[in-house]
Structures are given as C-alpha cells and as structure tokens.
Chain A
Amino acid sequence: MTATAVRAPARRAEKPSSSPRRRISKRNFFARLSLALPAAVVVVPLLAIIVVQGIDLVTHAENLTRPGSADKFIGWGNFTRAFSDPDLLGSIRVTLTYVVAGVGLEMIIGVGIALLLNGRIPGKGVIRAVILIPMVLTPVVAGLMWRLLLDPTSGFVNYLLGVVGLGNDHAFLSDPATALPAIIMVEIWQNTPFVVIIVLAGLESLDPSPFEAAELDGARGFGLLKNVTLPMLGPVLAVVLLLRIIDAVKTFALVNTMTQGGPGTSTLTISNYVYRTGFQTFDIGYSTTLGLIVSVALLILIFPTAGRLMGLRIRRSRG
C-alpha cells in the first residue's frame, strides 16, 4: 500500500505522488485497510476462484459428457485449437459488425435526439421518463418481443410493411442478409435512450458562456454545433461511447433469444459462441479458453483508452 497521507490542509497543494512518504501509524493503517475490507471479502475470493479454476480449465481437455476428461492435461492444446478455429474468427467478425454498426448508429441517433431535446419541447418531462423503458427492459423479454414482432406470418412489422405496400412476409431472422441487421436494430432500439439520457444531461450541464460568446460572433446552427457544442461535449461522448462498447461486446441475451446465432453462423457473436461451446457441446475447457482469449484481447483493446476516458492516470512508478 502506498497511501500518501495528506493530513493538514496546508499540504493539500502538494502533488501526492511526489510527496515524501510518511509514516502512518499502525492504527491508522488498519483503519484505512478496513475501508477496503468489505469489498475485498467478496471480490478477492471470487477473483481467486476465476484464476485457479481458470488455469485448471484451460490446460485440460475437459468435456462434461466424459467423466475423467477433466484429468487430461493438454497444455497449450486448447489455444492452438482456437487459433485455427474458423467459427471463432467468424464470431469475431459478427461481433465487430454488431458493435461498430450498433453503437455507431446509437451514438448518431442518440446525440441527434439529445440535441433536439435540449430546448423547448412540449412534454419533455414525460419523454424523459418514457424513453427509459426500453433501456431497463429485461433483455430476454426484449428479444422475445422482437422475435414475435418480426415473425413472417403474424408479426406486426410485416403487417405494417404490407400496409404500405412493401410485402408482408419478410423472414428477417432467417435470411442471413437481414438477420444480423435485425438484431442490431433491436440493440439500437434498446440502447439509444441510454445515449440520449446521458448526452442530454451533459448538454444541460454545459457552461452557457461559450455559447453566448459564439452567438455574438455570429455562429449559429451547424457551425455552432460543430465548433462549440460537440467539442465541449467531448468527454461525455467519450464515456458514453466506451460504456456502450463494453456492453455491446458482451451481448448475449438478444441473440440467444432471437436467433441462437443462426441462420448458419451469421449472427453468432463471441459470447454466444463461447456459451454454445461450453453449455451445448459441453466442451468446457475449450470454452473457457475462448473466453480467456477474448477477454485478454478486449482488455488490450479497450483498457488504455478506458483509463484515459475515465479520467484516470496509469503511471509507471515504483510500487
């Protein structure tokens, strides 16, 4: 623990990491440690479990249908298998499409609606309450609901398309060309309100003076948006984007209830593939390996940005 005591108000201006280390009384040290204790009691054992069990699982060829397979040590075997697995590659591609298209459109639509909402609109309070509903709806329910809505024979979406003359028997979820777009649409339906709510709150908390200055300079409309509003919103947008990406990368329930990854493998995301390997073919060692590879890749990709976006500093220092 390298806690730096800053006790007297006079010391406050000092940079904590550069201040000389102080002796902390034992009592004080334990008092501080005890603050971390409740969280540590839950988090540390569970982490230990993931690590110990995880190492055990990824180095063995365990399959639940075969008793005794848990003792079959295969070293890096699961990893070499993963690197030549076409389904893993396919699922990475599906997940990337899902995240880029889904989160991208959520951001564009969400920011647009938030900008429109940031002003005088009748019924604003009600609107803010109502758009929360898709966001908090249980994903299992959302997936099932949209599966029914998109049904080729009795789905309401097909009825509407029929009414406007676009044909009423589209089988969105069984055509590989439309299945993934349909699921992405549900992702957008469910999570755009998240973007709207946070960006709107961000807009409302912006300091009004730069806007006034810019308006005096004659900036308006799109120019104002591009040169003043969006730059000022930058940090908020970054956090929203990060949180949406973290969530979308892990998507499971929507695909599981709507298509189970089909048709073919056209909607098989990483989480669904890992789940299928572990809990439908019971290849539990390999499934854990896939989960580990994906987690590590995600951490490498997301982590450095995540720290910066959250206003954290990762500094190398002697511990």
Chain B
Amino acid sequence: MKRRPAAVAVRSIVVYIFVLWCIAPIIWLVSTSLKSDVDAFSPTPVWFFIPQFENYVNAWVDGGMGQSMLISTAVGCASAILGITAGLPLAYLTTQIWPPESTGSSRATLAILLLTIVPPVLSLTPFYRALFGVGLTGNAFGLTIIHTFYAILLAVLIFRSFLVNFPREIREAALIDGLGEWRALLSTILPNVWGAMAATFVLALIQSWNEFLYALVLTNGDSQTVPVTIAGFLSFFGTNWARLTAAGVIGALPIVIFAIVVRKHMARGLSFGGVK
C-alpha cells in the first residue's frame, strides 16, 4: 500500500494532538509537585521555578507515603500472587478439562463475570462486619483477602482467554503419560502462560493499588494504603497542594513503570481475550 507523505503527516498530527491531551495534565501534575505552594496556586502559571524537592521529602516522611507504599506493595503483591495461584487452576479446569463451550465452563465463567459487575458499595458493609468479627480490620490482612477476591476474578477471566484456544491434546497426552491433573497443569500449561501471568500480575497489582473504598474502611493508620493516605492530605483546614501532588506522583510512579514494562501483554489481558 502506498501512502502519500501528506496523509501520513495529517494522521500523525491528529495522533500527536491526542497524545498531548493524554499527557499534558500529567506534565502539569509533575511540575506542580515541584513548585512552592504559592507558585502552585498562582492564577497565571509560573513557567520557571526552582524545583522544590522538599515536597517529596515532606510527602514521603511526614505524610507517611513511605509506609503506605510498603503496605500497598505488600497487599498488591500478595493479592496478585494469591489471585494467580487460585485463578490459574480454575481457568485450567474450565478450559482444558471441561471444554470451554460446555455448560459447566460457561456457567462458571458467567458467575465470575457476574461478580465483577456487582458494585463494591454493596458488599462494603457485609465484608467489613465479617472481617471485623475475626479481627481482620485495622490491619492489612482483611484488605488483602478482599483484594485477593478481586484478583481471582481477574485472573480466571484472563487465563481463560489465554487457554481457551490452547490445544487440549497436550493435556490429554500428559494424562496418558500418567501425570495427575496438577502435574499436567504445571508441566504443560504453566510454561506457556508466562505472558498472561505477567499481565495478570500487573493488572491485579494496579487494581489493588488504586482501590479506595475497601482500603479506606478496612485499614487504620499504619496499614493505610496509598490512595487513602493521599486523600488524607485533603484536610478540612487547608490543603497543602504541593505535598498532595508530590504524593500523587510518588503513588502513581511504580504502577506506571510496571504497566509500561509489560504493555505488550496488556491489550490481551485488559480485554479478557477479546483480542487474540
């Protein structure tokens, strides 16, 4: 196909405008986080300023972002790993043992999909009470359980999409060789789903990292996650916007980097297999 250079130029310009629209607010956020509070609130933008890195120190140390990053990392990693560990075998069951088009498989998958549609505001109080009853509120454990729940839903749907066209003969051959289901899963499937696993891990981590409602209700002080800590900077008497934006940048950085690193697998993971 031949394209005229002018057409390429026009297309490029439209795309660049879109990219600018996506990225300009982020650039503004980062620059605000480096300004003094007075400059940050100036009615006419201050284009040149001396970067105030103490906003970051302030958010990290006094604002407790350091502690929150640790908690968020722990909760996010633990729930992502548990979600993968629980989700992969179920996806294996519903694609390799039960044929994907079978009633059992469809029903199980629909049930999982159903659970993702339910808004979190519905389950917030029931979960809080149950977790409170067994001493799992006010620390990161209860939150990890809830985030694991959502990570499992995500993992089943993503792994299913990756495994749905995986040739079932391979498992059958393994069974004939005398392997059990679990060994068959580990030896035939696992080596083929590392990409899906990377995507699931990162998406589950992002989901956990950004989640606000449960985190707010289920954790206290030392166990607060990143979004709760950031929202906590919005105080009734005067908000320190420079510190708030610095915390926002710190909080977003790890997941942005992660997402960019595994972006090749993201499209497929994000669409639950809509894209092969």
Could you tell me which A residues sit within 8 Å of B by CB distance?
A: 1-4, 6-9, 12, 16-17, 28, 31-32, 34-39, 41-43, 46-47, 49-50, 52-54, 57, 109, 113, 116-117, 119-122, 127-141, 144-146, 148-149, 153-154, 156, 159, 189, 192-194, 197-198, 200-202, 205, 215, 235-236, 238-240, 243, 246, 249-250, 252-253, 257, 270-271, 274-275, 278, 284, 287-288, 291-292, 294-295, 298-299, 302-303, 306-307, 310-315, 317
Q: Which of B1-33 contact A (CB under 8 A)?
A: 1, 3, 8, 11-12, 14-15, 18-19, 21-23, 25-26, 28-29, 32
Q: Is B248 an interface residue (CB 8 A)?
A: yes
* Cα of A95 to Cα of B209 in the assembled complex, Å: 25
> How many residues of B are in contact with the other chain, CB < 8 A?
105
Distance (Å) between the CB of A121 and the closest chain B CB? 5
Contacts A42-B149, A116-B15 given; does A201 touch B230 at CB 8 Å: no
Which of A136, A292, A307, A314 lies in contact with B122, CB distance below 8 A? A292
CB of B43 closer than 8 Å to a CB of A: yes
- Most A Cβ at <10 Å: residue of B156, B226, B274: B274
Q: Is the CB of A246 within 8 A of B110?
A: no
Please tell me if the beta carbons of B274 and A236 are within 8 angstroms of each other in the complex. Answer: yes
Q: Once bound together, how far apart are the Cα atoms of A253 and B197, in whole Å?
A: 28
The answer, yes or no, to whether B99 is at the interface (CB within 8 Å) is: yes
A43 to chain B, nearest CB (A): 6
Of chain B, the residue at the smallest CB distance from A153 is B43
B248 touching A138, Cβ below 8 Å: yes
Contact with A along B109-143 (1 / 0, CB 8 A): 11001111111111111110110000000000000
B244 nearest in chain A by CB position: A144
- Please pick, from B3, B181, B206, B248, the residue contacting A136 in the complex, using a CB distance under 8 A: B206
- CB < 8 Å neighbour of B15 from A17, A38, A127, A194: A127
Check A291 against B230 for contact (C-beta < 8 Å).
Answer: no
Contact A2 B104 (CB under 8 A): yes
Identity of the chain B residue whose Cβ is nearest the Cβ of A37 in the assembled complex: B89
**Which of these, B99, B244, B275, contacts A6 with CB under 8 Å?**
B99
Question: Is the CB–CB distance between B274 and A198 below 8 Å?
Answer: yes
A139 to B212, CA, bound (A): 9
Check A43 against B256 for contact (C-beta < 8 Å). no
Known: A274-B121, A310-B109. 11 other contacts (CB 8 A): A4-B102, A7-B175, A16-B101, A138-B210, A156-B28, A291-B121, A294-B119, A295-B118, A307-B113, A312-B110, A313-B101
Q: Is A3 touching B98 in the complex (CB atoms < 8 A)?
A: yes
Which of B48-56, B58-66, B263-271 contacts the other chain? B263-271
Cβ distance B198 to chain A, nearest Cβ, rounded Å:
15
- Please report whether the interface of chain A is mostly helix, strand, loop or mixed according to DSSP: helix
Structural contact, B114 and A137, CB atoms closer than 8 A? no
Q: Among the listed A1, A156, A205, A298, which residue makes an inter-chain contact with B275, where contact means beta carbons less than 8 Å apart?
A: A205
Contacts of A156 in B (CB 8 A): 28, 45
* Nearest-CB residue, chain A, relative to B41: A154
Smallest Cβ-Cβ distance to A141: which chain B residue: B248
What are the residues of chain A within 8 A of B256 when measuring CB–CB? 132-133, 136-137
A249 to B41, CA, bound (A): 34
Q: Are A116 and B209 touching (Cβ within 8 A)?
A: no
Instruction: Flag if A138 contacts B227 (CB, 8 Å).
Output: yes
In the bound complex, residues from chain A placing their C-beta under 8 Å from that of B101 are 16, 313
Q: Does B92 contact A (CB under 8 A)?
A: yes
| A-B pairs, 7 with minimum CB distance | A239-B274, A291-B122, A53-B126, A201-B267, A38-B86, A141-B248, A35-B89
Report the separation of the CA atoms of residues A2 and B109 in the bound assembly, to the nearest whole angstrom: 15
Contact flag A198-B275 (CB < 8 Å), given A35-B181, A159-B45:
yes
Provide a sorted-by-A list of 8 A–B residue pairs whose CB atoms are within 8 angstroms.
A32-B97, A43-B115, A121-B12, A138-B209, A138-B226, A201-B267, A271-B119, A295-B117
Select B89's contact among A36, A127, A128, A315, beta carbons within 8 Å: A36
